[in-house]
């Protein structure tokens, strides 16, 4: 097999770099505030320290079957509409007292709004 000429190799590298950049651009659709959740929550249907957030907007609270929710979360009986998520993320312990999510809350309403818009894309 003949080896690639330098020009061909550069073309090949340019293509590889372009596709890497494209892959990063689509991953960048993740809301920046989601870094505060990603340590505990996946978006792909798998549970971690917290239940997966795939399909969270519109979901019934404590409804991921194989996640061990706290009794407080099981009793909450909420529907995670955008409005309910907004209240919960601002003050998790205020909305579901005694729940087991170790997160103090996100005070900035604009940050919550952008985050919830992102969460609603997780189908």
Say whether residue 122 binds ligand HEC (CB under 6 A): no
- Asked if 47 contacts 66 with a C-beta cutoff of 8 angstroms, the reply is yes
Binding mask of the shown chain, residues 82 to 111, with x at each position contacting ligand HEC by CB under 6 A: ---x---x---------xxxxx--x-----
Q: Which is closer to ligand HEC, CB of 18 or CB of 49?
A: 49
Q: Which is closer to ligand HEC, CB of 63 or CB of 91?
A: 63
Query: In the complex, what is the shortest distance from the CB of residue 36 to ligand HEC, in angstroms, rounded to a whole number?
Result: 4
Burial track 53-69 (b if 16+ CB lie within 10 A, e otherwise): bbbbbebebbebeeeeb
Query: In the complex, what is the shortest distance from the CB of residue 115 to ligand HEC, in angstroms, rounded to a whole number?
Result: 6
DSSP state of 2: P
Structural element, H or E, at residue 33: none
Q: Give the largest CA-CA distance in the chain.
A: 69
Query: In the complex, what is the shortest distance from the CB of residue 78 to ligand HEC, in angstroms, rounded to a whole number?
Result: 7
**Would you give the distance in Å from CA 76 to the centre of its chain?**
22
Say whether residue 114 binds ligand HEC (CB under 6 A): no
């Amino acid at each position: 097999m003949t080896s690639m000429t330098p020009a061909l190799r550069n073309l090949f590298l340019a293509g590889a770099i372009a596709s890497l950049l494209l892959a990063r651009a689509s991953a960048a659709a993740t809301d920046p505030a989601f870094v505060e959740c990603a340590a505990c929550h996946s978006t792909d249907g798998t549970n971690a320290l917290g239940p997966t957030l795939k399909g969270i907007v519109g979901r019934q609270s404590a409804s991921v079957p194989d996640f061990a929710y706290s009794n407080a979360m099981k009793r909450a009986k909420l529907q995670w509409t955008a409005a309910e998520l907004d209240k919960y993320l601002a003050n998790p312990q205020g909305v579901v007292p005694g729940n087991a999510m170790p997160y103090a809350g996100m005070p900035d309403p604009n940050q919550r709004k952008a985050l919830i818009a992102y969460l609603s894309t997780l189908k």
